[in-house]
């Protein structure tokens, strides 16, 4: 098991140390994979949820009719223009959310540090923006609760996962990069 065998009467301590090291390595790998697949799952939920919401909202807005309005303070042309603006705004927000989902999916699957950190930063900006919009509207988080909660979870998971990716990268680097002739 060991190249030189146990030293004196310390065989039980050496084997115990060896078993604990194996435990920590396996435990570290399990938590890393758990973070990876949890981030992947939440990004996938975000991606699918965003697609469903964008399609549903665009269909509902597109089916709205000027004749259904009880208050005719705007003209039919203004109503149609505001429908186009609403659909464009929903499409823009959906595109940003889909970008977050794709960055998170690819970053988690490929274990790519830069993609994961980019996903985290964009998700954090969306969380802050949605919080500001919700408070400014005076309705708390209102209709934004799904996106707010998912992006908050993605931000936290991406942060922890990126930290583990960075730590694993640092551990895989050689300890001493200095050639032997330059050491003192």
- Which pLDDT tens digit goes with each residue over 58-103? 888 888 776 666 666 778 788 888 888 888 888 888 888 888 889 8
Higher per-residue confidence, 19 vs 64: 64
Cα separations (Å) of 44 from 37, 49, 54, 103, 130?
Answer: 10, 8, 15, 11, 20
Please identify which residue in the block is written with the tokens 């146990």.
6
> Bigger pLDDT: 132 or 18?
132
Q: Give residue limits of the domains in the chain.
A: 12-170
Picking from 55, 40, 49, the residue whose alpha carbon sits closest to that of residue 119 is 40
For residue 144, the model assigns a pLDDT of 67
Which of 89, 103, 96 is CA-nearest to residue 127? Answer: 96
**pLDDT at residue 11 tops 60:** no
pLDDT for 62: 80
The percentage of residues in the chain with a pLDDT greater than 70, rounded to a whole number, is 67
Pinpoint the alpha helices (H) of 64-181: 76-110, 113-137, 145-172
pLDDT at residue 9 tops 60: no
Confidence of residue 1 (pLDDT cuts 50, 70, 90): very low
Q: How confident is the model at residue 23 (pLDDT cuts 50, 70, 90)?
A: very low
Q: Is the pLDDT of residue 22 over 80?
A: no
Please report which confidence band the pLDDT of residue 177 belongs to, taking 50, 70 and 90 as the band edges.
Answer: low
Query: Mean of the per-residue pLDDT values for the chain?
Result: 75
| Residue 64, pLDDT score | 78
How far apart CA 179 and CA 172 sit, in angstroms, is 18
């Amino acid at each position: 098991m060991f190249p030189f065998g146990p030293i004196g009467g310390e065989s039980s301590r050496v084997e115990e140390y060896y078993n604990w090291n194996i435990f920590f390595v396996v435990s570290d790998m399990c938590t890393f994979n758990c973070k990876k697949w949890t981030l992947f799952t939440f990004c996938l939920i975000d991606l699918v949820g965003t697609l469903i919401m964008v399609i549903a909202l665009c269909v509902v807005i597109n089916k709205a009719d000027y004749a259904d309005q009880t208050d005719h303070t705007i003209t039919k042309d203004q109503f149609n223009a505001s429908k186009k603006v609403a659909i464009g705004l929903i499409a823009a927000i959906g595109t940003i959310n889909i970008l977050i989902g794709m960055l998170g999916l690819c970053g988690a699957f490929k274990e790519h540090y830069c993609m994961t950190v980019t996903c985290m930063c964009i998700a954090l900006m969306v969380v802050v923006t949605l919080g500001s919009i919700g408070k400014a509207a005076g309705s708390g988080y209102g209709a934004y609760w799904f996106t707010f909660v998912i992006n908050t979870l993605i931000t936290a998971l991406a942060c922890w996962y990126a930290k583990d990716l960075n730590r694993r990268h640092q551990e895989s680097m050689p300890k001493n990069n200095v050639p032997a002739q330059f050491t003192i």
